[in-house]
Chains A and B, each alone.
Chain A
Amino acid sequence: MTVRQTSSQQRRHADLQREPIDPQVVVASLKRGEDGAVVVFEGIVRHQTRGRKTLYLDYEAYEKMALQQLEALAAQALQQFKVRDVAVVHRLGRLEIGETSVLIVVVSAHRGAAFEACRWLIDTLKRTVPIWKKEYFEDGAVWADGEPFPDEIPRANPAAQGSHS
């Protein structure tokens, strides 16, 4: 992902792509002279799940919403943590063992905030962004168990006694 300017001159911080993710390209596009720290997180495809050997994964998304959610997460991270910039890239489609499914890059003057922001971004992404992965094994395929939605997100059950409207 290279940094793109939209017509409103607002930088995009998030991207979905089917091509392999190149972390170095993203890092290079983000770094500036005032940064003292770059934190890079890569989520990579594991070779097995609960003892079953994984052949490959396939990621799908509600793309329009996922992109909006990722941008919103990036904006929230910039507000909440003392970091200068962030980039979040998620891959879609078929991924082989060892490939990168998600990349998060955070740059800041100091490392503490960068680590915190990065951690928060991946933890929150995994619970809220509409992306799903299907795992293909030798003897079949199954949609991965998802993370429970956080309390703030209402559930589809009309009788649910949520504390949030």
Chain B
Amino acid sequence: MRVRVLLFGVLKDLAGKADDSVDLPEGASVADLIARYGSQIPRLKESLPALAVAVNQQYASPQTRLKSGDEVALLPPVSGGCGLGHSERSEESVHSAGGGNA
């Protein structure tokens, strides 16, 4: 089955693309999809504990089973709104490497 994958924020830069589609076996889960991307996105594995996933615009767990035509998005910690908040206090960031300009 074919699913669409969307990448945002630093993941988009690391993968070199924002939009992708992937063929998976029937019954594959979000975790299976993520495993596929491990080789395409540097440091993906280490950043997984911080990332969230959405399936068809709803937050989903890695165990979620996918079906053909689903839209899966890999979401780094969000930074909408304004100001610095967490980032001013954080000592290290999973995503600080960005485009190599820390």
Q: Does B28 contact A (CB under 8 A)?
A: no
Q: A157 contacts B48, CB within 8 Å? A: yes
Q: B81 contacts A146, CB within 8 Å? A: no
Q: Count A-B contacts at CB 8 Å.
A: 159
Q: B80 contacts A154, CB within 8 Å? A: no
Q: A131 contacts B95, CB within 8 Å? A: no
Q: A131-B80, A147-B79 are in contact. Are A140 and B86 (CB under 8 A)?
A: no
Q: B57 contacts A65, CB within 8 Å? A: yes
Q: A126 contacts B85, CB within 8 Å? A: yes
Q: Which residues of A contact B100 (CB under 8 A)?
A: 140
Q: Which DSSP category, helix, strand, loop or mixed, fits chain B's interface?
A: loop
Query: Interface extent on B, as a size class?
Result: 35 or more
Q: Which residues of A contact B60 (CB under 8 A)?
A: 154
Q: B10 contacts A102, CB within 8 Å? A: no
Query: Whose C-beta in chain A lies nearest to the C-beta of B73?
Result: A62
Q: Which residues of A contact B30 (CB under 8 A)?
A: 156
Q: B59 contacts A154, CB within 8 Å? A: yes
A73 CB, min distance to chain B CBs, angstroms: 11
Residues in chain A within 8 A of chain B (CB atoms): 42-46, 49-50, 59-62, 64-66, 68, 90, 101-102, 122, 125-134, 137, 139-149, 153-158, 160, 162, 165
